[in-house]
Structure 1
Amino acid sequence: MAASTVETPVGRVKPSRLIDLEQHKDERGCISVAESEWTAGFPIRRVYFLHDLTDGTSRGGHAHRELEQVFIAAHGGFTIQVDDGHQQAEYRLDTPGTALYVGPMVWRDLSDFTPGGVCLVLASHHYDEADYYREYEDFLRDSRRQA
């Protein structure tokens, strides 16, 4: 399976980047490792996962003011579109050995989940509704001011 495809680079406000996770494989199987600052580049304060998603579901549809996240396709796959207010990129994550870092001030949309897929998310902060941009127009206005 392909780890990812990148259609357009992203990164004027804050970059998004693929991360190759440390993997150990033998006859028993494979273990993929994500370790706080070494893998994510930030202390991990919150971990959550998306699962049991219904067909056609999309998630995300927001940006964060300060939160940093790492997305991992723990099982199956999904597509994530990122937008920094200037450029967009699309990634297909479908192997647990590759993760995607998404920094603050990057709009994200997740879609095309495979049946039974699980998206694992590592986050730099605890949940804080005040950190969210829920309206794309508000995000665009502020992201372009910062450029």
Structure 2
Amino acid sequence: MTTIEDCKLIEIPRIQDRRGNLSVIEGDTIPFNFKRVYYLFDVPSGSKRGGHAHKQQFEFLISLSGSFDVVLKDGKNKRIITLNRPNQGLLIAEGIWRELENFSSGSVCLVLSSGLFDESDYIREYKDFKLLKK
């Protein structure tokens, strides 16, 4: 059974020079090969995203611009992580409930996922998530 302790912040290598910064995700930067990339933007003030868990997929979230909070739950414990640096991401293990909230104006959340979209991999109701974690 996964717990919120299985979720961790990962530094993304950053190359700095007078022209600006460049970060690269390759090789073993993150502990899975990603098959899907998507991003959230123009999230209205006060809105929440996420509100689900995955049975099998891992995800890696990065705040490319602005900031937002990621609320992680494992059925017993809760942890809130603020993402606000484009060279740092949050690894979310399978079996972890996540909610994204407190988006700043202009924020962009990039998500790298270990799997293609598969509705059967989603747990969309928190009560179902709690039952699964028992």
* Length-normalised TM-score, structure 1: 0.86
**Alpha-carbon distance in structure 2 between the residues aligned to 1:111 and 1:13:** 18
* Counterpart residue number, 1:5: none
From 14, 29, 33, the counterpart of 1:23 = 14
**Alpha-carbon distance in structure 2 between the residues aligned to 1:85 and 1:13:** 9
From 21, 32, 42, the counterpart of 1:52 = 42
**Alpha-carbon distance in structure 2 between the residues aligned to 1:61 and 1:125:** 18
**Alpha-carbon distance in structure 2 between the residues aligned to 1:45 and 1:14:** 24
Structure 2 residue ranges without an equivalent (≥5) = none
1:74-113 equivalences in 2 (<5 Å)? 74-113=64-103
**Alpha-carbon distance in structure 2 between the residues aligned to 1:89 and 1:53:** 22
> In the alignment, is the contact (CA less than 8 A) between 1:63 and 1:104 conserved in 2?
yes
How much does 1:12 deviate? Answer: 3.1
Q: Find out whether 1:135 has 2:128 as its counterpart.
A: no
From 9, 19, 24, the counterpart of 1:33 = 24
Q: Which SS does the other structure have where 2:129 is aligned?
A: helix
> In the alignment, is the contact (CA less than 8 A) between 2:4 and 2:72 conserved in 1?
no
Q: Which SS does the other structure have where 1:125 is aligned?
A: coil
> In the alignment, is the contact (CA less than 8 A) between 2:60 and 2:112 conserved in 1?
yes
Q: 1:142 to 1:14 in 2, by over 3 A?
A: farther
Structure 1 residue ranges without an equivalent (≥5) = 1-10
Residue 21 of structure 1 aligns with an amino acid whose one-letter code is I
**Alpha-carbon distance in structure 2 between the residues aligned to 1:55 and 1:122:** 24
Residue 45 of structure 1 aligns with an amino acid whose one-letter code is K
